[in-house]
Each structure stands twice: as C-alpha cells, then as structure tokens.
A and B are shown apart, each in its own frame.
Chain A
Amino acid sequence: MFYDASMTEKELDGSQADRAGGYEMLEPEVEGAALAVEYTQGILTRMGYKPIVVSRSIPPSDEDDSVSLWVDVQCPDADRLLEYRNEGLDALQLLVQTMWSHQTKSKVRLTVDLNGVKAEHQKRIMRMAERIAERVAAGGKAIALEPMLPGERRIVHMALRNHPSVYTESTGEGGSRRVVIRPKTV
C-alpha cells in the first residue's frame, strides 16, 4: 500500500516500461498474486465490465514494514465504482482481499486501485504530510491534521517515519481520529 518516497513518479503511475533493470530483480514477489488478479478480473467481468488487471508487489518501505500487493485495474467505464468516495472500489477491494486471504492463507495487505485514483490520492497525502512536517519543524509547534481513514493515516505515519525533526501520533476515536505531527524535542 505504501510507496517509498524515493520511487519515481513513473513507478507510482504503474508504468512498467521504464524501470531500472536491477531494481526489478530485487523486488520480492508476493505468492498467489495471480489469484488476486484472477478474482478482481472475475468479479468485474461478472459485473459486466471489461477491465485490464495487473498486479505488482510493493517492497517494504523499511525494516518495520512488510511487502504488500497492489492490484491495478484499468477500466474507463467503471467510474460508477468511484462514486461516493470510492464506495464501490472499497467494496471490491474488501471482497478481493477476503477471498484471496481465505484461499491463500496469506496475511499480505492488498490494495485494489482503479484507473490510478488511489495512487494519485496517496501521492497527495504524502505531499501534504511533508509540507506540514516542514512547517512543524520550522515553527516548533505541533499541528493536527484533519480526521482521516486508517489507511490514510498510515500513509502519513510511514511518510514521516524517518523524518529528522518531527514524529507523528494518532489521537481521537473513530471518525475523528487524526494524526498529530509534533516536533522532536532535542
């Protein structure tokens, strides 16, 4: 689910073409990835769509992270799944994750993206996190972000995990749970 900040825009966009050869070799493969693609394809086809589905393994961003599986769907006429804040896409992801984990007994996290909307959203959150981290570092005062979903908060925590002068924590409960970015005291 998480992208390392050092990855290029091209990789985030899912282009397979321009990768450095050596990097590809290092990428860990998620076992059963083909089955996740098959399920995604199988569901969408039965819903009457004609999707193109590919998967790739996302390497851990650091030693505390684990490998995850990214399933990329290209399907221009499936915009309906993106209505009401990706309601349909989230339902698709939940089902594919549950079917897949049940069959493979794998604990690997799985993200289903449609027409690149999630990759785009992640990039926006990471940019925002870094921008606000700079303000916290400069001003010395903690800043609380807007309430976010668990996956979104995770992106912020991961993006700032190795930041030299700020750290992050989550406060609040349920729908109002939010990330606070605090300066590291010297």
Chain B
Amino acid sequence: MKDLVDYITTALVDDRSSVHVEERIERNAIVYQLYVADGETGRVIGREGKIANALRLLMDCSMRRDKKQHILKIM
C-alpha cells in the first residue's frame, strides 16, 4: 500500500526526491503520512480534493487488505 501511494505521488510532483510515505500502525487502522515538497501539496490534493480522494479510493479497492482501516494523511 505504501508502495502504491509512493508510486502515484512520485509521478504527480516535480520534486520526486521529497516524496516519502510513513506508515504508522495503530490499533484499528494503518495511517499513511504522505510528505511532498513545500508548494506541491496542491498537486496531490487536487481541485476540491479530487486527486486525494481518488488515491484513497484506490487504496480501498486494493486486493491486499486486512480489516484495518487505511488512512491517508497528506502532511
């Protein structure tokens, strides 16, 4: 899942080297914290959050999933 977020984000931004994803496992959820270069968060969020929501939706549609909730936070 981390790989998926990283793969998509890297192609959306100009500064690829600033992209990184931190995975934090909590009791009922896995939280993915996505970091991109300053000024490029807009690219990952999109107009009215369209891009971010599409990304979240694909995380939900992934085959490999457990019962935990997967949460994407854009930092």
Contacts and interface: CB of A to CB of B under 8 A. Distances in A.
Interface string A68-82: 000000000100110
Given A95-B8, A98-B12, A99-B11, A47 B54 contact: no
A34 interface: no
Interface residues of B, number: 19
A95 B59 CA distance: 12
Contact of A80 (B3, B8, B61): B61
Interface in B11-53: 11-12, 43, 46, 50-51, 53
Contacts of A116: none
A71 to B, nearest CB: 15
Interface residues of A, number: 22
B58 A92 contact: yes
A100 to B, nearest CB: 8
Contact of A94 (B4, B7, B11, B54): B54
Interface of B: 3-4, 7-8, 11-12, 43, 46, 50-51, 53-55, 57-58, 61-64
Given A47-B61, A47-B63, A99-B8, 12 more contacts: A43-B4, A46-B3, A48-B64, A49-B63, A87-B57, A91-B54, A94-B51, A94-B54, A95-B8, A98-B12, A98-B51, A100-B11
- Give 8 nearest A-B pairs by CB, closest first: A48-B63, A91-B54, A99-B11, A46-B4, A91-B57, A47-B62, A88-B61, A48-B64
